[in-house]
Amino acid sequence: MNLLIGANFKMNKTNTELLEYFQTFTTEYPNTPGVDVMIAPATIGLSKAAEFIENSPIHLGAQNMFSELSGAYTGETSPLMLQDIKCEYVILGHSERRTIFGETDEMVNKKVKTALAHNIRPILCIGENLAQKEEGQTKDILRVQLEKGLAGIEDTTNIDIAYEPVWAIGTGKSATPEYAEEIHMFIREILGQQESRIIYGGSVTEATAHELISKREVNGFLIGSAALDPRRLIKIVEEATR
Ligand code: PEP
């Protein structure tokens, strides 16, 4: 299975900045074998990004999507719209969607199902916050997020799971490779025989990528801040594959 290295741009980069980014990335990225690179710009940049990356090895991802196909849902994006521009991935249940925008496991589950039904590969994000970690609730929280997020789904082959501890996102405090491995093994146990990739997210940089990926159950990364610079993203892929 290829590693998945995903970039979540969050609410960053105008279309002009995206063009610059992709010009640098597509010129300098050597298309490393064994790695799927996915880039998720903000919704408004998706169509432009789809044009910029045509004929490049980059896979396009959305940062969110609604669970209905069309209708009176102001401000939302339909899977049909993503399909139409050949957007292959969608990040679902990111902790910022859960905490700032009130997404529940049930809402995330509907989105995961809709994405699958439209051949868009969901990256289902799960993760505990600092208080939950400190109270020793990490595994209980993850089990619930995973079981509810995947409720009614028999085959998770086409789903990637992103373990993103909330305390590590945007804080510069990455999980240690040992901690990530322990949690990924726990997630793997819950998934059973399923083939899903389990990727890690939370302050990954070019300095931490190699050690993290050396753990057997770490199958890639979801990266925020460090991926905003195309050369740093290329360096992370290099570090993850050396
Ligand atoms: C993220 O938002 O998914 C993320 C992992 O961000 P950062 O790499 O900045 O911690």
Ordered by where they begin, the domains of the chain are 3-241 (3.20.20.70)
pLDDT at 193 over 80: no
Q: Which atom of ligand 1 is nearest to the CA of 94?
A: 3
Q: How much distance in Å is there from the Cα of 72 to the middle of ligand 1?
A: 31
Question: Higher model confidence: residue 197 or residue 194?
Answer: 197
**What residue's CA is closest to ligand 1, atom 7?**
224
Tens of pLDDT, residues 81-108: 999 999 999 999 999 999 999 999 999 9
Q: How confident is the model at residue 21 (pLDDT cuts 50, 70, 90)?
A: very high
Average pLDDT, the chain: 97
What does the pLDDT average to over 63-92? 98
Q: How much distance in Å is there from the Cα of 71 to the middle of ligand 1?
A: 32
What does the pLDDT average to over 171-197? 95
Predicted confidence at residue 194, as pLDDT, reads: 79
Predicted confidence at residue 195, as pLDDT, reads: 85
Q: How confident is the model at residue 147 (pLDDT cuts 50, 70, 90)?
A: very high
Query: What gap in Å lies between CA 221 and CA 6, rounded to an integer?
Result: 6
Give percent of the chain with pLDDT exceeding 70: 100
Ligand 1 binding site (Cβ under 6 Å of any ligand atom)? 8, 164, 169-170, 201-204, 222-226
Grouping H, G, I as helix, E, B as strand and the rest as coil, residue 222 is strand
Beta-strand runs (E) in the chain: 3-8, 35-40, 59-62, 89-92, 121-126, 160-163, 198-201, 220-223
* Type of residue numbered 18: L
59 as an active site residue: the answer is no
Could you say which of 103, 128, 164, 239 is catalytic?
A: 164
Q: How much distance in Å is there from the Cα of 202 to the middle of ligand 1?
A: 5
Tens of pLDDT, residues 116-140: 999 999 999 999 999 999 999 999 9
What value, to the nearest 5°, has the Cα angle with vertex 22 and ends 74 and 92?
Answer: 40
76 as an active site residue: the answer is no
